[in-house]
Amino acid sequence: MNREEWLDAAAKRFCAEYLFEELDVHVSVSWPSRGGLSQTKRRIGECWKPETSKDGHSHIFISPMLTDPVTVLGVLLHEMIHAWDRCESGHRGAFIELARKVGLEKPWTATSPGADLSQRLSILATELGPYPHVGLEPTLVEKKKQSTRQLKISCVECGYTARVTRKWLLVGLPVCPCGTEMEEERSEA
């Protein structure tokens, strides 16, 4: 079973147990449209209205950073409530009513399963088997350090330093205010 099959199996169980109807949803692992890499308010799931899709189905995306099956199931259930509501209520009204009924707790903008729901999600995760996904952690990728475009030049007589672009070094080295021609400092790298 691949991860989409795993998510589809979970979605079918949620429909049968909580939503009382079959939903036409496509579930996959992908980055949310925004906020997926945010350090403060990271989005871990997203539901798109059926009207946004050419096939008329809601689309649910689960963050590729998630690896814990119980967490993934909680996010999936939260997003399925949005799909059930056709994304009409946001995190108010009908969304809150069903979220409470299935065992989610405040804050409604987060996925916060209560103790009973957490236990049920854990049982479901065991029944489904391991979540077949390797998490992505793009924040672990080292950012390339930008080297300065300015080159350091200095005076061997008085120690005066300045910075200049390579373009102006090609024209010639400047003269220090003390009257000595300056030299480019070479890095030892």
Q: 103-154, pLDDT tens digit by residue? A: 999 999 988 999 999 999 999 999 999 999 999 887 665 566 666 678 899 9
168 or 79: which leads in pLDDT: 79
pTM of the model: 0.72
Among residues of the chain, what percentage have pLDDT more than 70? 93
pLDDT of residue 47: 95
Indicate the SS3 state at residue 13.
helix
Residues of the chain by 3-state class (helix, strand, coil), percent to 5:
35, 15, 50
pLDDT of residue 145: 65
* Rounded CA separation 38/167 (Å): 39
* Rounded CA separation 185/162 (Å): 10
Q: Cβ distance 107 to 78 under 8 Å?
A: no
pLDDT band for 187, please (50, 70, 90 cuts): low
Query: What's the average model confidence in pLDDT over 67-73?
Result: 97
The 10s digit of each residue's pLDDT in 29-45 is 999 888 888 777 889 99
The residues that bridge with 28 in the sheet, in sequence order, are 61
- Please give the C-alpha separations between residue 176 and each of 159, 163, 165, 167, 180, in angstroms, as whole numbers: 9, 12, 16, 18, 5
Mean of pLDDT over the chain: 89
pLDDT of residue 24: 83
